Amino acid sequence: MNHAIPGVNAGYITRHKLLEDHLRGQQQAVSSAMFAALGESLSKTPSLRDWLGPGATRRAIEKAKVDQSERAALHPAVRRRAA
């Protein structure tokens, strides 16, 4: 369907790279470098810990649910029109 980016061919990511866990290893190297650069600030800064620490996704989802409930309570007319 001609969706290829110019200069990128089908061999760009080979089956071998996928099967050998090459991409996962590279992602781990990037993540390790980023967390090493953060150093102690990750444990000392609550906002960073909430964003990057264990359970961050779960906390973000719960916060979004609470925020949505609060918005609905503050603006009930908007909620009725959308429903």
Residue spans of the domains in the chain: they are 15-82
C-alpha distances out from residue 50 to 24, 41, 64, Å: 24, 12, 14
Asked whether the predicted pLDDT for residue 1 surpasses 90, the reply is no
82 or 54: whose pLDDT is higher?
54
| Mean pLDDT for all residues in the chain | 78
Asked whether the predicted pLDDT for residue 75 surpasses 70, the reply is yes
Q: Give the chain's end-to-end CA distance (angstroms, integer).
A: 39
Mean pLDDT, residues 47-55 taken together: 83
Q: What is the pTM of this model?
A: 0.45
pLDDT at 33: 94
